[in-house]
């Protein structure tokens, strides 16, 4: 069983959970916390963007089942579940470019299939949505009542629109069938197990440890609010363990510019890598910070790990992984 320090008593209402994208970065932490809380886990992943190594420590453990399947197609989960968490989706700009149709289908067909699974089992359903539905926001910080400023055909549109559709389908399905559904809008997460897949922190860490220039897209004044992955996973499961039926922001309110983030990571990594400015990404949000008033009030959740500590853990894990690969 996973580390008991991760145990969450709010999950005692559940006996068996299906987690799509459980082999992904965030999904693997969700699996860890569920198992530590005494909930059996069925992890569903096709490993198009996830990694078996993320759940290798869970294979063979009591209560953990891995099903390799694509949620955009029909799939079967043997035996009953009372919680369904739909986390499966590509989640970075390079992945959107490489898997544009798959990204759209993960949010559309994948959401439909997982909602049907929850309906058949009378299970609580949680959709992992994203702060990207706010686009390049005209309201700051972003609260759940903000409808967003999204380019429907831009470089990020396959992800943004898939998640917006998924939210609408989740609410409609819940209302029509009387299901218990929740939506979590996740802001930038980071931490150990994150690969350099195009997201800002994982790329900066990889570049700093490799002695490469830290590539800043645009002027670097754009802001992010990074949230340590264990905090994010706890927030997702806090929503799961509640009866709240509307979207909730899960993220850190500690806002930082991309340039300052690069400098911070360089210092933590003990690197001398130079900063290098390159062309800005299309539709790159200028500001990103969540209003988490709802999460505090309805879920009793707020992040605990400060950015400097989270980055220290992330860099240390990346160094261990590099050392293991070289040995």
Q: Is 20 helix (H, G, I), strand (E, B) or coil?
A: strand
The CA distance from 94 to 85, in Å, is 25
- What is the DSSP secondary-structure string of 181-216? EEEEEEPPEE-TT---SS-HHHHHHHHHHTT--EEE
Tens digit of pLDDT for each residue in 63-90?
A: 999 999 999 999 999 999 999 999 999 9
What is the DSSP-derived secondary structure letter of residue 290?
B
Tens digit of pLDDT for each residue in 201-254?
A: 999 999 999 999 999 999 999 999 999 999 999 999 999 999 999 999 999 999
Q: Is the separation of the CB atoms in 190 and 226 below 8 Å?
A: yes
User: What was the pLDDT predicted at 5?
Assistant: 62
Nearest CA to 90 among 47, 120, 154, 139? Answer: 47
User: What was the pLDDT predicted at 2?
Assistant: 44
Indicate the domain borders of the chain. 4-193+227-253+286-305
Residue 4 has pLDDT above 70, yes or no: no
The CA distance from 250 to 129, in Å, is 10
The yes-or-no answer on residue 159 being catalytic is yes
Which of residues 17 and 4 earns the better pLDDT score? 17
Cβ–Cβ contacts within 10 Å for residue 246, how many? 13
Q: Of the CATH numbers 3.40.30.10, 3.40.50.300, 3.40.50.720, 1.10.1760.20, which one belongs to the domain with range 4-193+227-253+286-305?
A: 3.40.50.720
Which of residues 172 and 280 earns the better pLDDT score? 172
Q: Which residues pair with 224 in a beta bridge?
A: 256
Alpha-helical runs (H) found in the chain:
25-36, 93-98, 100-107, 109-121, 157-177, 200-209, 229-240, 258-269, 293-294, 307-326
User: What was the pLDDT predicted at 1?
Assistant: 40
User: What was the pLDDT predicted at 57?
Assistant: 96
Length of the chain in terms of residues written: 327
Residue range 132-143: average pLDDT?
94
The CA distance from 97 to 105, in Å, is 14
Q: pTM of the predicted model, to two decimals?
A: 0.94
Cα–Cα–Cα angle for 133, 134, 138, rounded to 5 degrees? 160
Nearest CA to 150 among 138, 142, 166, 168? Answer: 138
Residue 105 has pLDDT above 70, yes or no: yes
Determine which one of 29, 125, 134, 159 is catalytic: 159
Tokens 């990103």 appear where?
288
Bridge-based pairing of strands 16-20 and 40-45 is: parallel
Bridge-based pairing of strands 189-190 and 83-86 is: unpaired
């Amino acid at each position: 069983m996973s580390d008991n320090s991760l145990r969450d008593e709010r999950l005692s209402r559940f006996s068996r959970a299906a987690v799509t994208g459980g082999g992904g970065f965030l999904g693997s932490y969700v699996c860890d916390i569920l198992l530590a809380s005494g909930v059996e886990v069925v992890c569903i992943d096709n490993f198009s963007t996830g990694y078996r190594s993320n759940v290798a420590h869970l294979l063979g453990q009591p209560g953990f089942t891995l099903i390799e399947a694509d949620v955009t197609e029909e799939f079967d989960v043997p035996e009953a579940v009372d919680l369904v968490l739909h986390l499966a989706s590509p989640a970075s700009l390079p992945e959107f470019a490489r898997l544009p149709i798959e990204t759209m289908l993960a949010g559309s067909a994948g959401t439909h299939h997982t909602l049907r699974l929850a309906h058949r089992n009378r299970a609580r359903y949680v959709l992992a949505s994203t702060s990207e539905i706010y686009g390049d926001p005209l309201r700051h910080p972003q609260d759940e009542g903000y409808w967003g400023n999204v380019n429907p055909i831009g470089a990020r549109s396959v992800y943004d629109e898939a998640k917006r559709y998924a939210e609408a389908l989740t609410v409609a399905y819940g209302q029509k069938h009387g299901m218990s559904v929740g939506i979590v809008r996740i802001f930038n997460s980071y931490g150990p197990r994150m690969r350099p897949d195009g997201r800002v922190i994982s790329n900066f860490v990889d570049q700093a440890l490799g002695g490469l220039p830290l590539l800043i897209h645009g002027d670097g004044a754009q802001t992010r609010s990074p949230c340590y992955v264990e905090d994010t996973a706890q927030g997702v499961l806090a929503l799961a363990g509640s009866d709240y039926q509307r979207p909730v922001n899960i993220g850190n309110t500690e806002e930082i510019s991309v340039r300052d983030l690069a400098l911070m990571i360089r210092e933590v990594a003990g690197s001398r890598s130079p900063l290098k400015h390159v062309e800005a990404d299309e539709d790159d949000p200028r500001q990103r910070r969540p209003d988490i008033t709802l999460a505090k009030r309805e879920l009793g959740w707020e992040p605990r790990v400060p950015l400097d500590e989270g980055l220290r853990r992330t860099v240390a894990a990346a160094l261990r992984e590099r050392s293991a690969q070289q040995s």
